Each structure stands twice: as C-alpha cells, then as structure tokens.
C-alpha cells in the first residue's frame, strides 16, 4: 500500500498513527523528515486487529514487536523472513522474496496508475529521480495498444 522500506516499518510507533485525522506519519530517516499518508480503512482495521489480538502488551511504543519472549521491537531481518515465508506460502513467485518485493509491487501499481516518476519517487520517499527510474519499466499493455492503432484515413 505505502511501499515502505523495511527499516521504516520497524521504526513505526503507536504515536505515528493519528486516528483523529486518519493519517499514518512515517519517519523518513534518509530525508530526515516525516511523511504523511492517508490511513486507509483496510490498513487501519488491520492495525487495530494486530494491536488488540496479537501485539504483546508492554511499555514499548514501537508498533511492531516480536511475539516470542523477550518482548522487543521487531528487527528488519524479521520482517524479511515474515514476508518471504508468506510469499512462499501463497506460492507467489517473484525475483525478490522479501519486503522489497512489496515495495516494487507498490511502485509498479503506481506506474500502472500513470503517476509521474516524480510522484512515485515522492510516494516512496526517494531523494532523487535516479532511485525512482528503476520502476520505469516498459508498459507492454500500452505498447500493444499503440501497435494496434489503425492509421486508417490518416494516410
């Protein structure tokens, strides 16, 4: 949904969710700032379910915690293993098997929605357009539409 980096996910705290405004505030360490995203209903509901039913109760303000004792903030490599195992369980085959696959999927979706590379870079928290150009892949569906275009009466 948001295309967050693994480190950004594990750095999220309970205080980064503004329930009154339905906003998720993401610390962007590379840019030394915070970026706000609309908190979608699906994501908000998932967070509520996680906090109420799964997250261990403790004094830590970090959103995501290790389930097994000792209770501690989730480490980035734990996120990799969680995502990779879920992708395997769902039999989803992709070049990247960890959380970066989700980041790429988000960027690919934004490309398909015809956002500019600048808009995609802003969404993903890139400092430069150079980092975003990785996602400028060939739109085969669009190229097929162009190839099927009939010049008919134009000639």
To the query of whether residue 28 is one of the catalytic residues in this protein, the response is: no
Long-range contacts of 73-77 (CB under 8 A, 24+ apart): 73/10, 74/10, 75/10, 76/6, 76/7, 76/10
To the query of whether residue 123 is one of the catalytic residues in this protein, the response is: no
Catalytic residue among 2, 5, 55, 62: 5
Catalytic residue among 55, 62, 103, 104: 103
Q: For residue 13, how many C-alpha atoms fall within 13 Å in the half-sphere facing its CB?
A: 8
To the query of whether residue 86 is one of the catalytic residues in this protein, the response is: no
Catalytic residue among 30, 61, 81, 109: 30
**In angstroms, what CA-CA distances link 70 with 56, 58, 64, 66, 92?**
10, 11, 14, 8, 32
Catalytic residue among 37, 80, 100, 123: 100
To the query of whether residue 30 is one of the catalytic residues in this protein, the response is: yes
To the query of whether residue 34 is one of the catalytic residues in this protein, the response is: no
Supply the residues annotated as catalytic.
5, 30, 100, 103, 126, 135
């Amino acid at each position: 949904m948001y295309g967050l980096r693994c480190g950004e996910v594990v750095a999220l705290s309970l205080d980064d969710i503004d329930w009154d405004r339905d906003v998720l505030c993401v610390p962007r360490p590379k840019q030394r700032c915070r970026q706000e995203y609309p908190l979608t209903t699906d994501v908000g509901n998932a967070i509520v379910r996680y906090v109420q039913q799964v997250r261990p109760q403790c004094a830590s303000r970090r959103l995501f915690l290790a389930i097994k004792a000792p209770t501690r903030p989730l480490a980035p490599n734990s996120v990799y293993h969680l995502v990779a195992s879920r992708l395997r369980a769902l039999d989803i085959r992709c070049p990247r098997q960890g959380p970066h696959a989700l980041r790429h999927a988000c960027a690919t979706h934004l490309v398909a929605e015809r956002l500019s590379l600048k808009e995609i870079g802003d969404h993903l928290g890139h400092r430069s357009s150079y980092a975003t150009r990785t996602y400028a892949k060939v739109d085969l569906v669009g190229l097929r539409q162009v190839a099927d275009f009939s010049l008919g009466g134009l000639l």
